[in-house]
Structures are given as structure tokens and as C-alpha cells.
Amino acid sequence: MSSQDDSGAQFRLDGRASVVTGGGSGIGRAIALRFAAAGSTVNILDLNLADAAATARLIEQNGGQASAFACDVADLSNVHKTFAGIFDKGRVEILVNNAGVSHVGNVESTTEADFDRILRVNVKGYFHCIQASVGHMKANGGGVILNLASIAATAGLADRFAYSASKGAVVAMTYSVAKDYLQHHIRCNCISPARVHTPFVDGYLQKNYPGREAEMFDKLSKTQPMGRMGEPHEVAALAHFLCSDEAGFITGSDYPLDGGFLRLHG
């Protein structure tokens, strides 16, 4: 058997540094924890430094290595300054673009300010982080970029006009980066989750359905064919695979992680 068949060594990220944006909570935190457990040194970026630091502490308590940074991905100069500081410490092989915001509304109820805010974070934020990283990855032999998109990019979801537009852009950017940087050994893929149970969901229910949280949680869960929401650790597991050497033949792909929503819904 070849060394590629050594299952004990598969999916390891030892000696590789990663950057996870929005790593202070939810899916980003789950990805950061998973990567650290696989041996990666994780740089956690979040708008809220306290949340990023809390994730870093969890990693360190489990014997891993992590650093926390306050970073507004919508601010180009802030992103480049943060990434420059990280690159000063050594090579970064993995970038996970996860930081994002949501919005509820159709085209009529979405204000220009709403639309600008969504695009500034969900589209320009990804652009800023990719732009800050590709030159470094090119100069150091390659790397992996993973973008968090959404099934909203390819499915018609009610009252998600601005959010859907932003995630459609993420999928398109993924394909473009994968094509442009293939020769530089940079792989770029994206994951499109359906509804995932994160603190955002809990906050949304508390704000919009006070006293009916459990009822609405159950209703939202049942909109997916599997009858439940996804969990952050399930997204992290796919992210881990796509950023590992075992996914070395995968680039320019969008992976639905949706409990059957896209193909089995209705």
C-alpha cells in the first residue's frame, strides 16, 4: 500500500497556518476548533475581539495554537494591515472566508443602506481577504481558499433578496479565483449550507418571535427535508476535508450542505 493509504495520517493540517474570518462564533468558531485539532495554527479574525479571543482560548486549552485579531473585513486597509502582521510571523496556507451578515427583505423592502451593508461585508469582505492573501500564497508555492456561500445563491428563498445576491457573488468569485490561480497551485472552493443552528438563528428568533422561539425553531427546522437544521461542526467537517491534501484534486466547486434542500425539497 502507498503512503496515501495510511488512514492514520489523513486529513492532518500539521505545520500549516490558517486564517478563519468570523471565527469568534458559530460556523467560524467550529471551523477554527476543527482545524486546530487537526494540527493547524489558527489565526482567528472577528469584528469582536473578545469573541475571537474566546475561540483562541478554547483552542489553547485543548493543546492547540491560535491567535486572535480584531478585524473588520469590510475595511480594506484594516484587512491588509491585519494580514501583513500575520504574514510577518510566517507562511499562511489556508484562508477561510466566513465572516458575513444576513438580511431579511424583498427588493421593495430592502433599502439602499441595507443592500450596501450586505455587499460591503459579504462580497467586498471576501474580496479584501482574498486580495490580501493570493500574492502571499503565490510567493510561497500555493494554498487553499475556502468561501462560505449559501443555498440562497442558487435557490429562490423568500425575503432574502440582498443576502441571496451577495452569496451568488461569492459562488461566482470562487469560480473566478479557482480559474485564475490554478497555475499558482491555489485551490478555491465554496460551501453552500442551508439553515445552520448558530447564535444568529437564536438571536433572530428571540427578536422576531418572543415567547414562540421553540415553536418557530421547529418550524424552520422542518423546512429542510431531513427535518432539522445543520450544525456548525458539520460545516467544519466539510471545510476540514476541502482544505486538506485529500481534497487536492478539487477546485472551482460549490458544495451544498443542505439536508437535501436543493434536490429533495417539496
Q: Tell me the residue length of the chain.
A: 266
**Which ranges in the chain belong to alpha helices (H)?**
26-37, 49-61, 76-88, 112-122, 124-139, 161-180, 199-208, 213-221, 232-242, 261-264
Angle, vertex CA 221, rays to CA 216 and CA 225, nearest 5 = 145
Query: How far is 19 from 94, CA to CA, in rounded Å?
Result: 6
On whether the CB atoms of residues 45 and 69 are closer than 8 A, the answer is: yes
Is 175 catalytic? The answer is no
Three-state secondary-structure class, residue 125: helix
- Smallest Cα–Cα separation from 245: which of 136, 93, 96? 93
Residue of 186, 194, 195, 197 lying closest to 243 (CA atoms)? 186
Give every strand in the sheet of 186-193, ordered side by side: 66-70, 41-46, 17-21, 94-97, 143-148, 186-193, 254-257
Q: Which of 163, 175, 204, 255 is catalytic?
A: 163
Which positions are annotated as active-site residues? 163
